[in-house]
Structure 1
């Protein structure tokens, strides 16, 4: 595969930096509800189950909006879609700073989730217009670390803001940050136009594959396996950023500020894991190693190790600090999916269907984020909010990530799936002739 002269590294990395900033805001918006959970629940009189319901409500319209914008992204420039998202997020922070009831908070989180749902697939679609296939994993991983940086800042700064100005001030600060990014993007954000040129026979087959119905693409075994991996990753990530601060404070007995700092420590630990594995995976791809080995096995091994770590606190006695360290590794490993899985989809799926497929992948995956906080809330509620109750909730991730890994090892074959999709398009070509 060769890359056209449209590839401009400096501009591509400049867009990566800007989009990393948006990812930071995206995750600050998500995680703030978990970091202020204790003072907010106390003021509003929320039970653990009610808080879990509110946390999961963020994802109620997440999938619908993600799919809708995914199809739109095939026709509308991602530059304008991302600008609209940045502005919408900022606007929706303001009412959250003034809500006084469970219902009002619920509505705010539902609307914000609808606005933020399309972010990651749209961002990846935008980045793939700047980078060739063999160079895509690392920039997506870096943007994903904008999410990690957002979680880190949340753990470090939100407790300080809360202790000094009250928990509501955090939402107003986030509104200001969102508006500031939107101005920067309006001034400097651009649309990529890189083209990937394969050998003429392969290019012809890919063109014909693009004509096949989207349902054939979505029912391909590799695509389905990748979606399952995304579902498990969203389940784990959402459960962690929603409930980990409360687990540290209520389950392990740390103070509010200490819990925030330890939360930040866990995020710091996840960053080198994600970047290191993403870099090594991309390096292997650059050396000609197949994506089955360089991508699929990387994700699968990371998931299996994460699943084992999640169940260890239920099997053995650990100190509170040891539990924090285990959570740092266990929560960090599944995040590798967010940088590698989209590259797997882009490898298999025709470019004309990429935006929609990435959106559907994120939409279905995010359903894990809608379910896991509410399920965790019920588990903690019935367990009396003891440390073991939280640990049982986190252990639900173990079942899901190990299952997803085993399914991927059995049926996720990107090279084979690409050939299958190209072959099934051939009859359509003959019929048309």
Structure 2
């Protein structure tokens, strides 16, 4: 489906908006447990230490599922895989309120994590074989915005439901929304010629699926992908890890209510939306190498981390610390990484299309990001409890600086790897 200035472009963008709607709805049934966690704990009486394993199970199976479903997505029609993931996630949300204890919740929510992982790899494949040029960047931006806006929506509608109904209603509501979305997506995708769906494997040199067999990925491509995966791990550690701990940081340093923590989380998600749009525009205007762009983002993140370290320095008295300055810098430190994440998870698989196995590559890259997020969650907790926030912020700055180095090295290999295909296909 080639984009032009006429009707075909509008039809093509409809696929992007539909995929964004699918991602939006899936996030509602992925984030609902974490948002409603306090209400669930209060209602069930389960200890925090036990119930914390439930979202951890989703995190774990989602990361593994990205790789597994990425491989499956290269042999199964992507719109079928996405529909199955939505319906399985809805089923898990229907079942969870009936679980008698934490072990059962862990099993159900672990299955939900795998179901959620059935969405991104095939969705990425559809986008890559539907769009080209700057329109691909626009489509990727639209889908990323869908995920960020879903986070905002979750922190708005779930407290509203909890104010008038039980915590179980949160999951029933999410399940109903996802079922409706799955039906709508299945009807739409089966009545339209969705790119990437005609054959299990696609030709490497065209935008249209064919019966040609994909070439094996050469060793230089594998080595370059290894550097990229390390970069993605760092992005996950800084984006999701800092996002997780931002409300805690501000509450411990400056005090405040749970309501303010929720507000801060919403603001973080909105900043993420803004950064997705801004970085897409900046990338199009000034960059052609995704890894050079990521190195620039890591440099900006390093600056924010150093400013945050100064603002929260030991020499600064508690009453002299500026909450607005700390809030802005820690929020931006996390938010700018959305740009690097978009470049690595969306643009890199597009450039590697000529090697085939698009769904697998997309799944592996996305899985690395969640590995980084998981590592950050536990590592940062340990550092914070043992050495305090200043050391924690120093670690964030060091990770960002390491990202600059890794991106610089990876950019050299990436330039050589993508040179044969030219630069005609801009993101």
Which range, TM-score by smaller chain? 0.7 to 0.9
Q: Which residue of 1 aligns with 2:347?
A: 343
C-alpha contact 1:87 1:182 (8 A) present in aligned 2: yes
1:258 corresponds to which of 257, 260, 279: 260
SS in 2 for 1:219: helix
Q: Does 2:340 correspond to 1:333?
A: no
Q: Which residue of 1 aligns with 2:278?
A: 276
Tell me how far 1:22 sits from its aligned partner: 1.8
Task: Write the mapping of 1:220-259 to structure 2, written as runs, cut at 5 A.
Answer: 220-221=223-224, 223-240=225-242, 242-245=244-247, 247=249, 252-259=254-261
**CA separation of 1:154 and 1:137: change in aligned 2, threshold 3 A:** same
1:299 corresponds to which of 294, 303, 310: 294
* Mapped partners of 1:244, 1:169: distance in 2: 28
C-alpha contact 2:73 2:359 (8 A) present in aligned 1: yes
Q: Does 2:363 correspond to 1:359?
A: yes
**Larger relative CO (CA 8 A, sep 6+): 1 or 2?**
1
Q: Which residue of 1 aligns with 2:36?
A: 36
C-alpha contact 1:133 1:343 (8 A) present in aligned 2: no
**CA separation of 1:262 and 1:302: change in aligned 2, threshold 3 A:** same
Count the aligned residue pairs: 397
Structure 1 spans left out of the alignment, 5+ residues: 195-201, 423-433
Tell me how far 1:299 sits from its aligned partner: 1.9
C-alpha contact 1:310 1:398 (8 A) present in aligned 2: yes
Q: Which residue of 1 aligns with 2:315?
A: none
C-alpha contact 2:29 2:90 (8 A) present in aligned 1: no
SS in 2 for 1:220: helix
Q: Which residue of 2 aligns with 1:405?
A: 404
* Mapped partners of 1:164, 1:380: distance in 2: 37
Q: Which residue of 1 aligns with 2:377?
A: 373
C-alpha contact 1:34 1:246 (8 A) present in aligned 2: no
**CA separation of 1:370 and 1:54: change in aligned 2, threshold 3 A:** farther
Q: Which residue of 1 aligns with 2:194?
A: 192
C-alpha contact 2:152 2:266 (8 A) present in aligned 1: yes
Q: TM-score, normalised by structure 1?
A: 0.79
C-alpha contact 1:230 1:361 (8 A) present in aligned 2: yes
Task: Write the mapping of 1:373-392 to structure 2, written as runs, cut at 5 A.
Answer: 373-379=377-383, 389=389
Please identify, of 249-258 and 19-28, the stretch whose mean Cα deviation from structure 2 is larger: 249-258
CA RMSD of aligned residues (A): 3.5
Q: Does 2:99 correspond to 1:95?
A: no
C-alpha contact 2:96 2:105 (8 A) present in aligned 1: yes
* Mapped partners of 1:33, 1:395: distance in 2: 31
**CA separation of 1:420 and 1:56: change in aligned 2, threshold 3 A:** farther
Tell me how far 1:33 sits from its aligned partner: 3.6
* Mapped partners of 1:21, 1:421: distance in 2: 32
* Mapped partners of 1:336, 1:57: distance in 2: 27
Q: TM-score, normalised by structure 2?
A: 0.80
Q: Which residue of 1 aligns with 2:25?
A: 25
* Mapped partners of 2:248, 2:126: distance in 1: 35
* Mapped partners of 2:268, 2:310: distance in 1: 21
**CA separation of 1:237 and 1:256: change in aligned 2, threshold 3 A:** same
* Mapped partners of 2:377, 2:98: distance in 1: 24
* Mapped partners of 2:394, 2:38: distance in 1: 22
Q: 1:31-72: CA deviations, max 9, x gaps?
A: 33433344444532213xx56644432232223322222122
Tell me how far 1:240 sits from its aligned partner: 4.5
Q: Which residue of 2 aligns with 1:322?
A: 325
Structure 2 spans left out of the alignment, 5+ residues: 197-203, 313-320, 423-427
